[in-house]
Amino acid sequence: MANNRVKPKPIEPQKRQPQLKKAILKAYNNESDDIEFMFNPTELSFTRAVKWESKQGNRGTELLPKVNFSGVDPYKFTLKQLLFDTYETKKSVIEEYINKIKKGVETIQGSPDQRPPVYIFRWGDNEYFHCVITSLTYTLNMFLTDGTPVRAMVDISLQEVDKNNPPGGRTSSSTGSNRKPDSRIKSPK
């Protein structure tokens, strides 16, 4: 007698799509609202310039101007074409997202030093740097029939700040009791 049973196919596990982690501009010391956004770049590009100064009349052996190192600029980074969309909820993209981002280029309410907030740029488990927003561009590109904007493309330019001495009411570590004495000056005995 023949066995007419069909062999069941083995169950293949479904491949789960990895969850896209949101990036965040975390407000330093809760100075402002955190800014979360979906972020899936193909590359990250950071820019930093090194400063060199040359003085006229100061020449090396090749008759080229002698150059002296004078410091480094902070890293700069632009988050390009961030998409914010509220079409499904029918809420204004300006009220839900853009107004929070705009706070990054406005002075902090009640701040004694009249400056915009400092952020920490994080994505997943990576913390890139403490920064300020130097430029914001947003384009509203979808609207409901009543004129409510429901989609925006946003570019945010960031500039690194010293995490050990961020802007904001702190005194420089080179003043007061933390100041190191100048070794060229002899103290009276």
Which DSSP symbol is given to 94?
Answer: I
| Per-residue model confidence as pLDDT tens digits over 19-41 | 778 899 999 999 999 999 887 77
- pLDDT tens, N- to C-terminus, the chain (189 residues): 556 677 777 776 666 666 778 899 999 999 999 999 887 777 788 999 999 988 777 676 777 888 889 999 999 999 998 999 999 999 999 999 999 999 999 999 877 888 999 999 998 888 989 999 999 999 999 999 999 999 999 999 999 999 888 887 554 445 555 555 555 555 555
- pLDDT for the residue 66: 81
- Give how far Cα 9 sits from Cα of 6, 16, 31, 123, 171, Å: 9, 20, 58, 41, 71
Domain positions in the chain: 80-163
Type of residue found at 111: S
Q: Using CB atoms within 10 A of its CB, is residue 86 exposed (0-12), middle (13-18) or buried (19+)?
A: buried
pLDDT for residue 84? 94
What residue spans of the chain are helical by DSSP H? 93, 99-102
**Which pTM value belongs to this model?**
0.72
Alpha-carbon span 164 to 176, nearest angstrom: 17
Per-residue pLDDT at 142: 96
